[in-house]
Structure 1
Amino acid sequence: MPASFSAGIFSVGRLHLKERQRPVTIAVAGGTGSGKTTIANALLERVGSHHIAYLPHDAYYKDIDAIPKDESGKLNFDHPHALDTPLLIEHIKQLQNWQDVAIPIYDFTRDLRLPETQLVTAQPIILVEGVLILAEPELRALFDIKLFVDTDADIRFIRRLQRDINERGRTVQSVIQQYLSTVRPMHLEFVEPSKRYADVIVPEGGFNMVAIDMVADRIRGMLRAQTIEPRSGIDAQN
């Protein structure tokens, strides 16, 4: 069962940085529009992006031509097979071995990867954020700390609607159709069941400042215990 939120949530077993030689890998999971990215950005701001190697799972979407179609011949961007998770796993393992990685840059208006990549330098903390990251056993096994951001379905849908219209050039009707045909069914099949693997469930999405501050404080404590200087390189947010 996930731990309740307290100052000691990360003080179990293998999570003491002073006993570790590799970076600590943190997962921020949750449904679409739950506030995962808000929490990830808040942690980057509070802890300092120069301490964190940030990997958003969304960057690993496959090109539209490479996404398998379902039995009805339709594309499903909300199924795990739409994402290049093996590449994400490879990148996490490289970062855990203090090797820099070049992550994809995805164009959501054209549903394809750009030829350019983004350099992420190895840091003491690896922060991975995404909808399906706790649903994949091989990926899940790489995480030391697993957070699940829990937000009511209606709030999540409204946030997704606003994001897809404003940032991805979608129409209201197309967002609603995708939500009903794939987003909601895939959430119920993959995302909601993955909640049971979380160490901590964060309610109220990105508006839970108490939870965000507690996680940030704990990460800062880990960094002090680890006494490893951040490496120079291109900021993971840029």
Structure 2
Amino acid sequence: MSVFIPAEGSSDMTDKSNDIRFVEPSDEVLIHLPDGRVLSGKRGTELEAFMQRLENWRDPLVVGAIVNRELRELSFKIWRESDVTPVTLKDTDGARIYRRSLVFLLETAFEEQFPDVHLTVDHSVVSGGYFCQVRGREPLTVEELKRLKQRMKELVRQDLRFERFVISKQEAIELFEQQNKSDKVRLLKYRPKDQLVLYSLGHHKDYHHGYMVPSTGYLQWFDLKAQPGGFVLQFPRRHSPDVLLPMPEHSKLLQSFRQYGSWLERLGIDHVGALNEVIKTGRIQDVILVAEALHEHQVAEIAEQILNRRDQVRIVLLAGPSSSGKTTTAKRIAVQMISQGIEPVPIEMDNYFLDREKTPRDEHGNLDFEVLEALDTVRLNQDLKRLIAGEEVQLPKFDFREGRSYPGDVVKLRKDQMVILEGIHGLNPRLLPEIPSEQTFRVYVSCLTQLNLDRYNRISTTDTRLLRRIVRDERERGYSAQDTIGRWESVRRGEKRHIFPYQENADVMFNTALVYELAALKPRVEPLLRQVPFGTPEYIEAKRLLAFLDWFLPIDEVYVPDNSILREFIGGSILKDFKLWTRVSD
């Protein structure tokens, strides 16, 4: 194929280049908004000033922006023409920015008033908030909590700036040694990068994993509520960004978190720096053995509770959010029951998915796999009733790559057998309306991570599950990391609607988190995250997850036992094809 190049001095070249000339840089810079409007301002102006020109920047509150396809905080300066999308409290990244800033506010006020006491920001609560504990003394009194809240409100009224600055890793280590923050010192010891971004609020300086709001004046919505053993830092949920929801009772969930916290204390690993130290010194195999033994002990206790009700129970229901390890947990419970003389039949609820063309769609027109209506519940109820009655049943087998159901095993229950049915809807009372409740035993399974980067930088249970799912989806379902991240918002929306409201219906809860798992997932998931293309919405999330994983030293998955929960995601599980029921035909 030939390309025409006009001769030098020709009229074609001259006409096209008449308006092209070198000029001095303009003092003005333009930003282009998603709705087509354009804002002009002085070059080098902070993003905050541009966003505050929007008439609705407070409804919902703008706390960041995507600038030329990169997430930026509002203190970011605009030096060149840019495409800008505001990020608000209704967005996932906006909610993270707000909550992270709120923790820094709490930390600053707390260390002013209680300089000799350690505060730890632990797990999240479903109504919106973080459970916090003080170490080295009794929990804060009602009066102390009131004073702490008043100081936080005073800092908000002062509208103090969160100042961002960069220092060397060695300078940061020296700073945190002076502050007696050994958890941060141990964390930084294994950080591969030589620099660290810190923030200051007044005289208070600290590291937080991610961006902040520009000033304390943005932090209008929070509360401190006393809870047994500590207190909750309340913040708004994304769907109601200026409302604090009532605090529900979640005694079983809190008990699961605290049990895991006691496990971490027993292991001597309550933050990532301690985990990295164990990996570096070659003691990780011992930690893995103990962590897996703690899991097995709890699985055995659950099996014993089920067997204590063997005269009534015919169906064991396991429910929980995506990538909790429900399938492996079901099979490990089955093994424990077999060891005590009862042979259960494990059945995966996912095999009752409707064929893809029958799958419901959400309000955006996307396939919605998270709603109960995505399952063939009519067939499920019929199959279970027939199994309980001792009849032969042809189970379905769902092919996720093809999106279609095929005939599976033909099975039959003996009178002394139970069904173990696992899936996200296991605790939903609408799942089995035709089965008497006394014939069921309900287990809630979730990955309730309580290992933190340090005292103030918690690890999200959602992030751990997402990383698990990215690895599993690529290996078993042929999905890229971009695919999985793109679906994650829909998955999370489904969990909030269809799983979390029923978690307290469980007879028992099982926490599948493993203290070492992110170090084991790292070698698998990092290459997948790096394949997410720049410029896509999923890239921002992939970049965040890669930065998060940077804090972990990797471990070889060869050390992961072949019956571990983690094997459900990385592969190699000895339980993958586990079936010990009365099979009628192949």
Which TM class, normalised by the smaller chain length?
Answer: 0.7 to 0.9
In 2, Cα distance between equivalents of 1:177 and 1:109 = 17
**Residue of structure 2 equivalent to 1:173:** 482
* Cα distance change of structure 1 residues 129 and 9 upon mapping to structure 2, 3 Å threshold: closer
**Residue of structure 1 equivalent to 2:158:** none
Shift of 1:194: 1.5
Shift of 1:190: 1.0
In 2, Cα distance between equivalents of 1:206 and 1:89 = 34
Contact 1:34–1:206 (Cα < 8 Å) also in 2: no
SS at match of 2:432: helix
Structure 2 spans left out of the alignment, 5+ residues: 1-250, 256-297, 448-460, 516-579
Shift of 1:57: 0.3
Shift of 1:42: 1.3
1:31 counterpart = 2:321: yes
Contact 2:326–2:445 (Cα < 8 Å) also in 1: yes
The residue type paired with residue 87 of structure 1 is R
Greater length-normalized contact order (CA 8 Å, ≥ 6 residues apart): 1
In 2, Cα distance between equivalents of 1:138 and 1:106 = 19
* Cα distance change of structure 1 residues 197 and 177 upon mapping to structure 2, 3 Å threshold: same
1:127 counterpart = 2:444: no
**Residue of structure 2 equivalent to 1:223:** none
SS at match of 1:137: coil
Superposition map of 1:85-164 within 5 A: 85-114=377-406, 116-123=407-414, 124-139=417-432, 141-142=436-437, 143-151=439-447, 152-164=461-473
* Cα distance change of structure 1 residues 198 and 51 upon mapping to structure 2, 3 Å threshold: same
Deviations 1:197-225 (A, max 9, x none): 10111123589xxxxxxxxxxxxxxxxxx
TM-score calculated relative to the size of structure 1: 0.75
- Structure 1 counterpart of 2:583, from 220, 223, 233: 233
**Residue of structure 1 equivalent to 2:502:** 194
SS at match of 1:91: helix
Aligned-pair identity (%): 25
Shift of 1:196: 1.4
Deviates more, 1:129-138 or 1:49-58: 49-58
SS at match of 2:479: coil
Deviations 1:140-176 (A, max 9, x none): 7555210001212222111111111100001111110
In 2, Cα distance between equivalents of 1:73 and 1:231 = 40
* Cα distance change of structure 1 residues 117 and 9 upon mapping to structure 2, 3 Å threshold: closer
* Cα distance change of structure 1 residues 190 and 206 upon mapping to structure 2, 3 Å threshold: farther
The residue type paired with residue 399 of structure 2 is D
Deviates more, 1:83-92 or 1:44-53: 44-53
**Residue of structure 2 equivalent to 1:16:** 309
Shift of 1:132: 1.3
TM-score calculated relative to the size of structure 2: 0.32
Shift of 1:10: 7.0
In 2, Cα distance between equivalents of 1:8 and 1:43 = 7
Structure 1 spans left out of the alignment, 5+ residues: 208-229
**Residue of structure 2 equivalent to 1:183:** 491
Shift of 1:11: 6.3
* Cα distance change of structure 1 residues 161 and 146 upon mapping to structure 2, 3 Å threshold: same
Contact 1:2–1:199 (Cα < 8 Å) also in 2: no
Structure with bigger gyration radius: 2
In 2, Cα distance between equivalents of 1:30 and 1:173 = 24
**Residue of structure 2 equivalent to 1:54:** 346
In 1, Cα distance between equivalents of 2:304 and 2:336 = 18
Contact 1:31–1:150 (Cα < 8 Å) also in 2: yes
* Cα distance change of structure 1 residues 199 and 171 upon mapping to structure 2, 3 Å threshold: same
Contact 1:59–1:105 (Cα < 8 Å) also in 2: yes
Higher helix share: 1
In 1, Cα distance between equivalents of 2:338 and 2:462 = 31
Contact 1:161–1:172 (Cα < 8 Å) also in 2: yes
- Structure 1 counterpart of 2:358, from 61, 66, 71: 66
Contact 2:303–2:336 (Cα < 8 Å) also in 1: no
The residue type paired with residue 126 of structure 1 is V
* Cα distance change of structure 1 residues 55 and 206 upon mapping to structure 2, 3 Å threshold: farther
SS at match of 1:51: coil
**Residue of structure 2 equivalent to 1:214:** none
The residue type paired with residue 428 of structure 2 is A
Contact 2:409–2:583 (Cα < 8 Å) also in 1: no
Shift of 1:43: 2.4
SS at match of 2:408: strand
Contact 2:443–2:510 (Cα < 8 Å) also in 1: yes
Contact 1:28–1:36 (Cα < 8 Å) also in 2: yes
**Alignment: residue pair count:** 209
* Cα distance change of structure 1 residues 7 and 176 upon mapping to structure 2, 3 Å threshold: closer
The residue type paired with residue 337 of structure 2 is V
* Cα distance change of structure 1 residues 95 and 2 upon mapping to structure 2, 3 Å threshold: farther
* Cα distance change of structure 1 residues 48 and 9 upon mapping to structure 2, 3 Å threshold: closer
- Structure 1 counterpart of 2:511, from 197, 203, 207: 203
* Cα distance change of structure 1 residues 69 and 204 upon mapping to structure 2, 3 Å threshold: closer
